[in-house]
Amino acid sequence: MSQLSTPTAATPTWRLRNAAFWDGVRHQYDKRDIDAWDDSVPYEVTNNPDFAERCAQGVLHYVISCQADGFQGQFTVLEPGAGLGQFCYLFISKLHALMNIAGVDPSCLTYILCDQSEQTRDFWSEQPQLQFYLKREYIKIEPFTLDSHQGFAKVTSAIDDYDLRNNRVILLANYFFDSLLQQPYRLIDGVYVPHEIGKPRSQINKKLTSLSFKPANTACDDSICGVSQRILDEFAERGIEYVLMPEGAMAVIQWLDQLSDHPALIICHDKGFSDLSQNAYNATYHIIKTGQYASCVNFQALGRYTELALHGSCMLPSPYDSGFTCAVFHTKVRHEALAGFRVGLEYLVQSGHSFVRMYSQRYLSRYELAEDLTGLFAVLRELRFSLHALVEQKDFLIEKLRQADCLDHIDIDGALDAFWQHYYFTPHRKSQTQLIALLEVALHAKRYVYVEDKLADYASWHGKDYAFKKISGDLYFIQSDFASAAYYFTEAMNDNPDCDHCKQYLTHCESLL
Ligand SMILES: C[S@@+](CC[C@H](N)C(=O)[O-])C[C@H]1O[C@@H](n2cnc3c(N)ncnc32)[C@H](O)[C@@H]1O
């Protein structure tokens, strides 16, 4: 059990009920498995090449600094609640590329990809882009669950059986801490009174934030340990009315810290508050539903917990950066001596906000300003050849490719390769749409061998469906193989008789044959 609890005290009812609420969030993810990301829970912010590369840079700085400081052991990266696994793929491929440049041996680091859901873990073990790394054991897959035990957070993971005592462990928590057990308190007459979270009873007309918070039948919480109480006292001294205490995240950090004799590094990306006197929780405790219940993480409490209980340090984002931010915690080291580590991670912390801006519509609309293909590819490069961006602007890009007399001045092959490196298969419509966009763009750029090659992958992952047949028809038509084109257009029309494009091109084929 977590040290955050007082095992002798009988667990109060409000604590058991709140634990049941957060356990419910976990069960919902477990039930929905990777389909949680089929358009219901947003995930682009943490599963894109730019974000993965920045994280890889931060971790590489840490690795280099530790080695320069004399550490000769292994590094173990843990990613709990990893969802699709796409971040892991992008991160590890970027990290290996950067290690290559920096002359760091990639075998010094193992990535443990974790999720509570068995089906998710089964999906990863077959996922095509992960295979290279799984086979060479750069990536391992393990279960990781945080649930409640008598109202307190408790970690269960196969990682407990690993011997990581001499390793440097690094936790990458992307949109993870916000779904774990968090406890609402309200300052009443100078004392924090715990509140019980109530879910809406009616399923009809339920609003996004229709949770209720009623004071627990107790003057204060005497079930928490001294450090949590001290953190609450500090908040009380500053008159902060509403506090959400991240008990689940605290338990995860504590669990991580005890795995190794060395400091543990935690890099957390989430919506969060680094200074509660600047960004206060309101009466809803910012618990909202975005596919599932989640909240702004109390980074300030996590920072104090790392300092007080784990003798560590933290780097928190600017208080004004609360939309999506990065916070870094480092246990067992009060004053960090590793210079490169600070530089790399401070950059990561400071740039947290830019991820969101990058994916906002305003930023993407810069495409419209790109007058020619050179400008357009410059913007695509700036967005690190993200397939999300490619889908957004596919039509505009194809139009520009059609209008271009000559493509020799543009590194089309480099761009297509970069997009391909970032493609990650999932059995969802979004993943299919991304591959279709890539094939269509490559076709209009006249890269026929590339299209043929990737169409074979499309067929083995998504099946020989209507899109496969239509693009195959286009591919053969454009190369003047009208018999093959006619075959594929006919096949495509069997699947989709309303396809005007196939109808029209089939007529062309018949007249040319
Ligand atoms: C919001 S999703 C984030 C997924 C992924 N990290 C990303 O950025 O797209 C939260 C993840 O945490 C996992 N999770 C939620 N509650 C959990 C718990 N109590 N214990 C273990 N995993 C949990 C879910 O299964 C899910 O994978």
Q: What are phi and psi of 161, to 5 degrees?
A: -85, -10
Domain ranges for the chain: 13-181+247-283+291-358, 361-512
Q: What are phi and psi of 461, to 5 degrees?
A: -95, -45
Q: Does the Cβ of 32 fall within 6 Å of ligand 1? A: no
Check if the beta carbon of residue 179 is closer than 8 Å to that of residue 272. Answer: no
pLDDT digits (tens, 9 = 90+) for 444-471: 999 999 999 999 999 999 999 999 999 9
β-pairing, 75-79 with 168-174? parallel
**CA of 147, closest atom in ligand 1:** 19
Distance CA 459, CA 174 (A): 32
Amino acid sitting at position 60 = L
Check if the beta carbon of residue 451 is closer than 8 Å to that of residue 442. Answer: yes
Q: Give me ligand 1 centre to Cα 159, in Å.
A: 17
Q: Give me ligand 1 centre to Cα 382, in Å.
A: 29
Q: Give me ligand 1 centre to Cα 39, in Å.
A: 16
DSSP state of 266: E
Check if the beta carbon of residue 397 is closer than 8 Å to that of residue 390. Answer: yes
User: CA-based angle 146:149:150, to the nearest 5?
Assistant: 150
What are 4's strand-pairing partners?
none
β-pairing, 191-198 with 183-188? antiparallel
* Nearest Cα to Cα of residue 425 among 438, 407, 415: 438
User: CA-based angle 93:352:376, to the nearest 5?
Assistant: 65
Q: Whose CA is nearest to atom 14 of ligand 1?
A: 81
Average pLDDT over residues 111-124: 95
Give the residue, out of 176, 255, 295, 359, with the most ligand 1 atoms within 8 A of its beta carbon, to mutate for a pocket test: 176
pLDDT beyond 80 at 7: no
Q: Residues with Cβ < 8 Å from 246, sequence gap 6 or more? A: 177, 180, 182, 297, 298, 301, 302
Tokens of 48: 């894109």
**CA of 29, closest atom in ligand 1:** 25
Distance CA 120, CA 35 (A): 9
Tokens of 187: 């300052």
Q: Does the Cβ of 482 fall within 6 Å of ligand 1? A: no
Q: Give me ligand 1 centre to Cα 195, in Å.
A: 24
* Nearest Cα to Cα of residue 184 among 245, 229, 239: 245
Cα Rg of the chain (Å, integer): 26
Most confident of the following: 148-157, 323-332, 372-381: 148-157
Q: Does the Cβ of 47 fall within 6 Å of ligand 1? A: yes
Cα→Cα distances 5→22, 204, 358, Å: 17, 37, 41
**CA of 144, closest atom in ligand 1:** 21
* Nearest Cα to Cα of residue 29 among 113, 112, 114, 120: 120
Average pLDDT over residues 85-102: 97
Q: Does the Cβ of 351 fall within 6 Å of ligand 1? A: no
pLDDT beyond 90 at 169: yes
Q: Does the Cβ of 115 fall within 6 Å of ligand 1? A: yes
Q: Whose CA is nearest to atom 21 of ligand 1?
A: 145
* Nearest Cα to Cα of residue 266 among 228, 231, 312, 298: 312
Give the residue, out of 29, 324, 326, with the most ligand 1 atoms within 8 A of its beta carbon, to mutate for a pocket test: 29
User: What is 361-512's CATH topology?
Assistant: 1.25.40
**CA of 248, closest atom in ligand 1:** 19
pLDDT digits (tens, 9 = 90+) for 400-419: 999 988 888 999 999 999 99
pLDDT band at 379 (very low <50, low <70, confident <90, very high): confident
Q: State the pLDDT at residue 362.
A: 44
Tokens of 270: 């989430």
pLDDT beyond 50 at 1: no
Domain 13-181+247-283+291-358, CATH: 3.40.50.150
